Amino acid sequence: MRLLRVQVPDFRVLQNVDITFEKDFFPNIFPLGSQNGGGKSTLLQLIFGLLHCSGNPDRVDFLKNLLHGIKVYDKNKTIALIDIWDGEKSITLRFLLEQNKKLITSKTKESFGMIWDNDDNNYTENTIEICEYEKEVLLCHLDNLDITKGKIFLKEVSEKIFLAAPATQIFLFLSPNSRKLLFREQNEENDYYSQLKDAKAKLPGFFTYDFMAVDLLTKSLKAAIAEDIKQVNETGKYGNSYKELIKDLHLILGNKKINLEADLSSISFKLEKDGETVELYPEDLSHGELKRLSIYMWLKHYNIEDAIVLMDEIEIAFHPDWQYQIIADLKEWAPSNQYILATHSYELCQALTPSHVKELEPKLLKQQASS
């Protein structure tokens, strides 16, 4: 699965956006740059929300949140056109808002499958209603796919799109009331981060760069142990899944070692130095080390492969050398994915060719003025 092109005529700060992602580029990693306020995060969240939620009726409330405040003043309003390569062909998804009164139900009378019936537009057999939104309805028009095949494709895409971002980011697919909580005194019963945690539970493709992904680590290590035991039962020989995972983690951590404690509910870190083994405390590992470890575990635990992975400000907490290195890391950890990295980092951009770097206005990389 590959994102080929994204066009956004007018959505919040995004104006006349038209970006192409070449599917044959190697590596398939594209930095997305602009200055602060250029709309990088908005673009990633828009792509993720439309693709992750449109194929699943249980997630449409997140789409309504994303569209909050967007009005249709004319006959219709195109939100985005997204071209996707499914491995064999390119499929264009056009997401648009239409006035609700112009819809008729399909023959099957399903709530998730309405069709457009207006001679002015060619949206009859291949336009799906995603959700009603106030006085409008969000539609998805799919080139050369009827409703049945279109819904199957949207479902497939929803399982192949992922978003990773800082937990401190403002997420447009959370409710407006949730976002307003950031400007109020926080309390345990009703705060922004509890709303964010609830959203993560409902959006399996959504990951935040938490300080330490202990749950991912323990779950992955326990899963590796379970796989080894399964192999014992089937073949009589203990498997190497746990040993190989620990080996990979040690390569990331260098001279710092990780281990799952006997109770299987906690982990420990140790440092081997000058022939001695010293137990490490949480403060002995840097923010950057823990973040790098978390990204690796996220990709591996969820077996994210042949997917579109959107990552916002991945360089936070990384030394410039690690900002450069993260490109090689992603190529090694999960090379079959396409990565789109919203970034402010020159070092990260320099790890790829200039043609890989995509930009929004105001641009991150300014051309030199001619002498």
> What average pLDDT does range 303-324 have in this prediction?
95
- Please choose, from the candidates 59, 23, 4, the residue with its C-alpha nearest in 3D space to the C-alpha of residue 199: 59
- Asked if 129 and 138 count as a contact pair (C-beta separation under 8 A), the reply is yes
The CA-based angle 9-354-42, given to 5 degrees, is 30
Residue where the block lists tokens 């006085």: 135
If one compares 294 and 100, the residue with the highest pLDDT of the two is 294
Residue 217 pLDDT level (bands cut at 50, 70, 90) = confident
Give the pLDDT of residue 100. 74
- Please choose, from the candidates 111, 99, 110, 107, the residue with its C-alpha nearest in 3D space to the C-alpha of residue 124: 107
pLDDT at 109 over 50: no
Give the pLDDT of residue 187. 66
Give the pLDDT of residue 256. 84
The CA-based angle 240-241-247, given to 5 degrees, is 85
pLDDT, tens digit, 9 for 90 and up, residues 14-26: 999 999 999 999 9
- Please choose, from the candidates 1, 127, 123, 3, the residue with its C-alpha nearest in 3D space to the C-alpha of residue 54: 127
Q: What value does the mean pLDDT of the chain take?
A: 86
Give the pLDDT of residue 117. 43
- Asked if residue 282 has a cis previous peptide bond (ω within 30° of 0), the answer is no
Give the pLDDT of residue 188. 62
pLDDT at 112 over 50: no
pLDDT, tens digit, 9 for 90 and up, residues 39-71: 999 999 999 999 999 999 999 999 999 998 888
E strands, the chain, are 2-11, 14-20, 29-33, 76-85, 90-99, 103-104, 115-116, 127-133, 136-142, 161-165, 206-208, 256-260, 267-273, 276-279, 308-312, 338-343, 358-359
Give the pLDDT of residue 276. 84
Give the pLDDT of residue 113. 43
pLDDT, tens digit, 9 for 90 and up, residues 113-141: 444 444 444 455 688 989 887 788 899 99
Residue 146 pLDDT level (bands cut at 50, 70, 90) = confident
- Asked if 82 and 93 count as a contact pair (C-beta separation under 8 A), the reply is yes
pLDDT at 306 over 50: yes
Q: What pTM, to 2 d.p., does this model score?
A: 0.87
Give the pLDDT of residue 289. 85
pLDDT, tens digit, 9 for 90 and up, residues 220-254: 888 899 999 999 898 888 889 988 888 888 888 88
- Tell me the CB-side half-sphere exposure of residue 195, using CA atoms within 13 A: 20
pLDDT, tens digit, 9 for 90 and up, residues 276-292: 888 887 678 888 888 88
Give the pLDDT of residue 67. 92
- Please choose, from the candidates 68, 65, 205, 77, the residue with its C-alpha nearest in 3D space to the C-alpha of residue 139: 77
